[in-house]
Amino acid sequence: MAQTTANHTQTVTGWAAREASGKTTPFTFRRRENGPKDVTIEILFCGMCHTDLHYINNDWGITMYPVVPGHEITGIISKVGSEVRNFKIGDRVGVGCLAATCLECEFCKGSQENYCDQVQFTYNGIFWDGSITYGGYSNMLVADHSLKGKKEWRDYFHG
C-alpha cells in the first residue's frame, strides 16, 4: 500500500510503474476523502501522453515510485463537496495535469494556474497533506472543483 494519511480512506485500483522498466502493473492505494471544495470522479478513460512515458521511465530523474501516471482524464462526478455549486453528481468532466492550486495568487486569478507556487499536480507530486499524488490510470480521482471542465460530449471518446 502506498503512502497515505488519515483521511485517505477510499480504496482505489490502478496501474503503476514501480521502477524505470517501462512496465506498469496493478496497484492498490488509497485516495483522500472529498473536502468541501472537491469532486470525486469515476474515471472512464485516460489518455496516454508522452509525459506519462517520461515519468514511467524516469527520463527526467524526478519520478517518485510507485507512480500512477495519467493526466488526460474523463469521467463522471460521483461525489461533490458541500461548497461545490457548479457541478452535480452525474456530470461528465475532464481533468488535466493540475489537481489543485491556491486560487488566490496573481497567477490563479489570471488563469495561469500552472505557475501557482502551491500547484498540486495530478500525479508524481506531494499533496498539501504530505501524501503522494496518483493519476488517472486508476478507477477514481479526487480533485478541486475549480480545475475541472464540464463537457456536453456526445460520448466519452470525443471528450
**In the prediction, which pLDDT does 98 show?**
84
Residue 48 resides in a domain: yes
CATH number at residue 144: 3.90.180.10
Q: What is the mean pLDDT of residues 59-88?
A: 94
**Side chain identity, residue 28:** T
**In the prediction, which pLDDT does 128 show?**
78
Residue 54 resides in a domain: yes
- Average pLDDT over the chain reads 87
* Confidence tier at 1 by pLDDT (50, 70, 90): very low
Number of domains forming the structure of the chain: 1
Domain hosting 89: range is 10-150
Q: End-to-end alpha-carbon separation of the chain, Å?
A: 32
**In the prediction, which pLDDT does 146 show?**
72
Secondary structure in 3-state letters for the chain: CCCCCCCCCEEEEEEEECCCCCCCEEEEEEECCCCCCEEEEEEEEECCCHHHHHHHCCCCCCCCCCECCCCCEEEEEEEECCCCCCCCCCCEEEECCEEECCCCCHHHHCCCHHHCCCCEECCCCECCCCCECCCCCECEEEEEHHHEEECCCCCHHHC
Residue 41 resides in a domain: yes
Secondary structure in 3-state letters for 17-31: ECCCCCCCEEEEEEE
**In the prediction, which pLDDT does 32 show?**
86
| pLDDT for 150 beyond 80 | no
Model-level pTM?
0.84
Cα separation, 34 vs 52, whole angstroms: 26
**pLDDT tens figures, 94-113:** 888 887 888 899 999 998 98
Residue 45 resides in a domain: yes
Residue 98 resides in a domain: yes
